[in-house]
Structure 1
């Protein structure tokens, strides 16, 4: 017997929802979008026309509906704590855009609440769900670059318009929380939990007070290190590289790969350069699919990474030299 589709309500008509997440959810046979909430009724209606569901004015009305099993929350990060908590207290599973909250304490509190109520809280950090990274792990385990010595990871974008929410501290703005979480997560994916922050620098914007650039050195107990860089004041860069005892492996466009992109893995050794072109994959389908499976009873797989990511980001903020 087929299970009933997971019925989704959407809280906020954000750009990422329109471009990447809702097209995947609307196309999934195991999902039905039943309500889309916005403070702007016309915007809710436009989203509902494209993705289905009933347009609803405001966010609270979505949580009060009996035909909503789970909510998708693409609000600005600074609003996540309030609305994820409200959703969990309304007995809804939650798919929330990255990062889950602005701090480790808030993230742990929400995860504890989800466990207490038997609900799933899943962070929509999509790139780890791309099949590219499983192939990179296979190459590492096969000895393609020898023993891993260092990871370097960067995500930078050009400056945004002054009114962009990324420059609003009360909404959880700043480069570390917006783009810095990606290279931090890449370090955790390949070096594992328990990374220590050996040093960090954050550069702030005098007008807004948020950090607009930064970097950190992370270290594992065995001496393997990760250098992460991020910012809003850069030429576009979106990459990670793994440096081993015998060679180096690098990949580009790793954090926001389009569903049609065929990633290229470059392996460089002293006397050999090789490029492997992999199959295209939709990382948003991978992430939302993992959430739906967890709602239906499968073990959630990324809770440790949500907590470790929040811990490392907190530590970077606490110990960074601020310029």
Structure 2
């Protein structure tokens, strides 16, 4: 993969390898968080952004100092792009991920990677068969606060883990928001539910099963708007998860152990300047551990670029954001949907 990199020079004359990145679509998440991180990363060269609307493409290109492209296919076919970032509506992900992989491009895609587990598995298989990196962007898994929690667990800070709970809920969205459009892959299950489900996988590991779920639907909109799920490990550790798009905002998780409890707030979408606080409750008292601020979007972009440039075909196992995690996660989402119907 290293021969795909575009070399520039540092002031001292040493070469700097850079990943040449193209963007499919002009989504808000790309404008607000991902592309600012990309242009700030010295290992990334933002080459072009594509839209089906020439005016939108031009606006994005001027904002981020890259080239506008009219039409997604024209960008995917370009030979001066090594990797593609896909922030399109969920229903369009699978088609353009596949097109990008078949064109020899590595892919960083916003979640969900696909609308169902079968399609997700086919995309992972295609990426592996072509030696390409495919990453589903659950960006929170890159934030250093979760690694700090994992270290506390490994050190026995709360004894043996017995249960996990997580919630990600947001206030009601306008009817014309893409997450309320069934034809674009809208709904809470494919959007906000993925965060607590992925968090459960991060802390409880492989082999989770759905013991039960409830999924609420809005008949007028034609999408699911919230719900809850109970997952369990083979050893009986449980995960109680809540998700919704018509609730007061909440973004948190807790881990209960045999001797204490760990709580994390602003767990899934913290601003780059936010200093996380991990609350540890034990019989001898309460400890609040304040961490340094961290930009999870910068970490996403940097990790993706380095993985491609270094020639790795995946990120570290157990990190919660590797190719090996994509299909099991999609199967859990499918199971929550089936059980909640």
TM-score range, shorter chain: over 0.9
Q: 3-state DSSP class of the match of 1:32?
A: strand
Counterpart position of 1:300: 314
Q: Please say if 1:92 is aligned against 2:112.
A: no
Paired with 1:303 and 1:92, the residues of 2 have a C-alpha distance of 15
User: Pairwise mapping of residues 142-291 of structure 1 onto structure 2 (< 5 A)?
Assistant: 142-291=155-304
Q: Please say if 1:315 is aligned against 2:335.
A: yes
Q: Please say if 1:107 is aligned against 2:120.
A: yes
Question: What are the Cα deviations for residues 67-103 of structure 1, in whole angstroms up to 9, with x where unaligned?
Answer: 1111110001110011101111111111100111111
Q: 3-state DSSP class of the match of 1:177?
A: coil
Question: What are the Cα deviations for residues 109-139 of structure 1, in whole angstroms up to 9, with x where unaligned?
Answer: 0111111111111111111111101110111
Counterpart position of 2:94: 81
Paired with 2:54 and 2:267, the residues of 1 have a C-alpha distance of 35
Q: 1:231 to 1:151 in 2, by over 3 A?
A: same
Of residues 226-235 and 164-173 in structure 1, the stretch that sits farther from structure 2 once superposed is 164-173
Counterpart position of 1:15: 28
Counterpart position of 2:11: none
Once the two structures are TM-superposed, the CA of residue 299 in structure 1 deviates from its matched residue by 4.2
User: Pairwise mapping of residues 25-64 of structure 1 onto structure 2 (< 5 A)?
Assistant: 25-64=38-77
Once the two structures are TM-superposed, the CA of residue 222 in structure 1 deviates from its matched residue by 0.6
Of residues 18-27 and 269-278 in structure 1, the stretch that sits farther from structure 2 once superposed is 269-278
Tell me the TM-score normalized by structure 1: 0.97
Paired with 1:67 and 1:271, the residues of 2 have a C-alpha distance of 59
Once the two structures are TM-superposed, the CA of residue 62 in structure 1 deviates from its matched residue by 0.6
Paired with 1:94 and 1:153, the residues of 2 have a C-alpha distance of 29
Paired with 1:16 and 1:36, the residues of 2 have a C-alpha distance of 14
Paired with 1:2 and 1:149, the residues of 2 have a C-alpha distance of 50
Of residues 38-47 and 203-212 in structure 1, the stretch that sits farther from structure 2 once superposed is 38-47
Contact 1:185–1:305 (CA<8 Å) still a contact in 2?
A: no
Q: 5+ unaligned residues in a row in structure 1: which ranges? A: none
Once the two structures are TM-superposed, the CA of residue 4 in structure 1 deviates from its matched residue by 3.5
Once the two structures are TM-superposed, the CA of residue 3 in structure 1 deviates from its matched residue by 5.0
The two structures, once aligned, show a CA RMSD in angstroms of 1.1
Q: 3-state DSSP class of the match of 2:328?
A: helix
Contact 2:252–2:264 (CA<8 Å) still a contact in 1?
A: yes
Paired with 1:283 and 1:4, the residues of 2 have a C-alpha distance of 22
| Aligned residue pair count | 321
Contact 1:291–1:300 (CA<8 Å) still a contact in 2?
A: no
Tell me the TM-score normalized by structure 2: 0.92
